[in-house]
A and B are shown apart, each in its own frame.
Chain A
């Protein structure tokens, strides 16, 4: 799923400084699962912003709503009647949500409430980690099912750098060296020689370097 973290309240308060009436729009997709932008978080943010305003001696009217998804025009359309009633709208979806909203309602101001960070999953309750960098040409099967593009700080494809120590990456003792894990797994599997197959430089055409990506499924296009 897409992983995000909430922006600091001060940043959000500054965005809506001149607003008296706002809508906070949550999303029931990824951001609900990573507990950053679902109905619950919408309620918490609404309350926090109102507390901040009361402290300033001003009021803030906040409506709360959570859409099924914010990456589909079908759901974006559900707010068409009320979206114009607010001074601004804060979207708690990943970066896709406020963009779809801005396109659909060009008159309104939409602010992102979260910083979208990565594609990944929950490694324990309350902790999410990056697993994929969306390179557009998946190669994890060469590396014991682990992605060195997303999980090696240098995206190395032919073994660890000289900074790998004690299973940790040289950038931080809190970051596992994925190459240490790949080599360990291959060794345990008795397939270490797989790694002798040298990988040529990867083409990044399918990644962001090739420009914005687009997926078309002809059978569905109307």
Chain B
């Protein structure tokens, strides 16, 4: 991509946002990611019909798990944009990076460093 997005974001490409499962999001947090989000297609425009809707439900599930664990659920998010919207992709990346910056490092990491 020629447009630049915050360098602290690691992009992992998947064929469809529906491919992202609960465990992938949890593993990201477990392995120390301060936040993780899915950028899926616009609702109603999934090539596999409901991939992005499923992804949103999984994100909501993970939010609930984090809440149960006393971790800010905002660290996990679902965004929808069309594949042609490069600038929107960058905007979302910035928005998420800012949100995480405000939240600070994940409590999982804080403890790791302190230990």
The complex places the Cα of A57 from the Cα of B106 at a distance, in Å, of 12
**A51 & B26 in contact (Cβ 8 Å cutoff):** yes
From A9, A50, A56, give the contact of B111 (CB < 8 A): A56
- Cβ of B49 within 8 Å of any chain A Cβ, yes or no, is no
**B115 & A57 in contact (Cβ 8 Å cutoff):** yes
Report the interface size for chain B: residues with CB under 8 A from the other chain: 18
The chain B residue with its CB closest to the CB of A9 is B68
| CB of A26 to closest CB in B, whole Å | 13
The complex places the Cα of A143 from the Cα of B23 at a distance, in Å, of 44
The chain A residue with its CB closest to the CB of B29 is A51
The chain A residue with its CB closest to the CB of B26 is A47
- Cβ of A10 within 8 Å of any chain B Cβ, yes or no, is yes
| CB of A167 to closest CB in B, whole Å | 29
Known contacts A44-B22, A48-B26: A54-B68 contact under CB 8 Å: no
The complex places the Cα of A47 from the Cα of B25 at a distance, in Å, of 10
Known contacts A8-B68, A9-B65: A54-B23 contact under CB 8 Å: no
- Cβ of A199 within 8 Å of any chain B Cβ, yes or no, is no
* Residues of chain A within 8 A of B30, CB atoms compared: 47, 50-51, 54
The complex places the Cα of A8 from the Cα of B65 at a distance, in Å, of 9
| CB of A34 to closest CB in B, whole Å | 15
| CB of B55 to closest CB in A, whole Å | 15
- Cβ of B12 within 8 Å of any chain A Cβ, yes or no, is no
| Contacts of A41-85 to chain B: CB distance below 8 A | 43-44, 47-48, 50-52, 54-57
A: residues with CB less than 8 A from B are 8-10, 40, 43-44, 47-48, 50-52, 54-57
- Beyond A8-B68, A44-B65, A57-B111, 14 additional pairs, beta carbon < 8 A: A9-B65, A9-B68, A9-B69, A40-B23, A44-B26, A47-B30, A50-B30, A51-B29, A51-B69, A51-B71, A55-B71, A56-B111, A57-B112, A57-B115
B: residues with CB less than 8 A from A are 22-23, 26-27, 29-30, 65-66, 68-71, 107-108, 111-112, 114-115
